[in-house]
Structure 1
Amino acid sequence: MKLNRDSYIGHIRDQEEKALLARVLDRVETLLKNHRCVLTNFHDPYHTGLIISMLERIPGLDFAAGGGYPTAERVRIALFPDYLDESQVNFELVLLAVEGNFKMVKTTHRDFLGSILSLGIKRELIGDILITPRGCQVIVAREVASYLRANLTKVHRVGVEVREIGFEVLSLPEVTIKEIRTTVASLRLDAVAAAGFGMSRSRMAREIQAEKLNLNWCGSEVSAMVQEGDMLSLRGRGRVEVAEVKGSTKSGRISIVLKRFL
């Protein structure tokens, strides 16, 4: 089945984003033809939001995102026929432990990622990298797991062993949360996001118009209304959750509690 691509991506100006969405549409057409689940590569929250915004407009399919744990930054999107249940979806993820004697060597996320990419593996096939005392745990697409196990032998001049482990021993990252108690004139997206990310409302409006901010992983309008439980994500600035809407103050403003993930 061929889609009218212009109706889905014709309005996209950024050529890299347009190419990304076109590749996703390739997979959508494969799904609609074969009626089998297909997977995207890993994407960050911003690009995940772009993809989801497009997928929501395509009839005949359903989708779900998975990155190995609920708060994963990088996720794959599974596309499947709308008559299937999400519980039947396999995201084809593998958790690898990369371990060595790092006691005398300070290593960072960048060191591990750089060593992996130096093997010729594309970034889009690598999910989150979680630093551990002995090295790291890395979530990867199943199709590159064996290659990594066989070829990743050194990180930052330290010899490493790579082995597959179960997700039940995943070392979940420690999340730092800043609680923000404030008031806003209204629950419009620009007002709440400005309070959460610490910038002026006019600047936030420009960020929203430039499609840099997502509401629940999807693009939105400046005037959209937010509610308790919504998640706001701003490219390069992280995420803010609308944790609580407490009601109006005597001055007529709305008291809210936000949680900013640092």
Structure 2
Amino acid sequence: MDNIYQHFRPEEKEFIDQVINWREFVEDSYAPKLTDFLDPRQIHIVQSIIGSEQNVKMGVFGGHADCERKRVLLYPEYFSPEKDDYQIVLFELKYPNKFVTITHRQVLGTLMSLGIKREKFGDIFIHQERIQLIIAKELQEYIKLELGQIGKTSVQLIEMPLDEVIHSGEMWHEIQTTVSSLRLDAVLSSVYHISRQKAQTLIQHGLVKVNWRTIEQTAFTCEEGDVISARGFGRSKILVIDGKTKKEKWRIHAGVLK
């Protein structure tokens, strides 16, 4: 573990320590450890630290393959994980959809107002009038008891089998591009095909988020696993940073939400 922190951002130190503690728990107790829901960047950090560990294996599941937020299961060699081990529950919201529109932001806000931490629920799916949410099983009874309305609209929660999760119809388009540096303004410019100046303006006006956190520094360094959103341009994620070209540019593979 020769200064493992140098490979990550300073603000990620606390999470890295947590991952190391999880790994040590599995090694010492020879039992599995289930995390809360993690975002893609956090999952990348866990993968980097666990890597090709001999004693500790890693599984990831968030409801279905395309989920963004997932629970990670660290486990010893003997253990064979199944879906039930991820302790995930799927709910569908029943509401008068002919008269009311409920947005992703409203669902998210309501869950947070109930005192539920963001890491305790996974993706929220909205497709046409259907709304589903994925919850950590330990909150199943609390959610059923407390979530009776969103805004002024009464809602009813129906538990669904996980294989009935709806797909939101989101399509990720994979691109390969080169950037002069891994600065946020350079990556934004290349991925969204806008000028560097336009990218800088978006960042400075607080319109860009990295991993759901507003970033206003144009020189912020992007890394693998980052999810970037720019208001008016949608979302993208850095899948792979593939080293440098002969001209000293960085090759990156990114997914862009269509």
TM-score (norm 1): 0.68
DSSP-derived class of the 1:42 partner: strand
Q: Is 1:120 equivalent to 2:115 in the alignment?
A: yes
Return the alpha-carbon distance in structure 1 between the equivalents of residues 23 and 221 of structure 2: 23
Contact kept, 8 Å, 1:97 with 1:162, in 2: the verdict is yes
Return the alpha-carbon distance in structure 2 between the equivalents of residues 82 and 131 of structure 1: 38
Contact kept, 8 Å, 1:41 with 1:124, in 2: the verdict is yes
Aligned match of 2:147: 152
Aligned match of 2:167: 172
Letter in 2 for 1:41: D
**Among candidates 5, 24, 27, match of residue 9 of structure 1:** 5
Runs of 4+, deviation exceeding 6 Å: 189-194
Count of aligned pairs: 218
- Structure 2 residues without counterparts, runs of 5 or longer: 200-216, 230-234, 241-252
Return the alpha-carbon distance in structure 2 between the equivalents of residues 32 and 145 of structure 1: 30
Letter in 2 for 1:81: P
Contact kept, 8 Å, 2:89 with 2:135, in 1: the verdict is yes
Shift of 1:159: 0.7
Return the alpha-carbon distance in structure 1 between the equivalents of residues 223 and 50 of structure 2: 18
Correspondence 1:57-96 to 2 at 5 A: 58-87=53-82, 90-96=85-91
Correspondence 1:1-262 to 2 at 5 A: 7-9=3-5, 12-15=8-11, 17-56=12-51, 58-87=53-82, 90-134=85-129, 136-178=131-173, 196-198=191-193, 212-214=222-224, 217=225, 234-236=227-229, 237-239=235-237, 260-262=256-258
Shift of 1:125: 0.7
- Structure 1 residues without counterparts, runs of 5 or longer: 218-232, 243-256
DSSP-derived class of the 1:62 partner: strand
Shift of 1:199: 6.3
Q: Pairwise CA RMSD of aligned residues?
A: 3.7
Shift of 1:24: 2.4
DSSP-derived class of the 2:25 partner: helix
DSSP-derived class of the 2:37 partner: coil
Contact kept, 8 Å, 1:97 with 1:136, in 2: the verdict is yes
TM-score (norm 2): 0.69
DSSP-derived class of the 1:73 partner: coil
Contact kept, 8 Å, 2:178 with 2:190, in 1: the verdict is no
Return the alpha-carbon distance in structure 2 between the equivalents of residues 61 and 194 of structure 1: 39
Contact kept, 8 Å, 1:39 with 1:76, in 2: the verdict is yes
Identity of aligned residues (%): 27
Change (3 A) 1:118 1:241: closer
Q: Could you report, residue by residue, the CA deviation over 1:146-204 in whole angstroms, capped at 9, with x for unpaired residues?
A: 11011101101101111211012211110235576x8x789xx9999985553689x9x
Contact kept, 8 Å, 1:93 with 1:140, in 2: the verdict is yes
Shift of 1:106: 2.5
Letter in 2 for 1:212: C
Aligned match of 1:250: none
Letter in 2 for 1:239: K
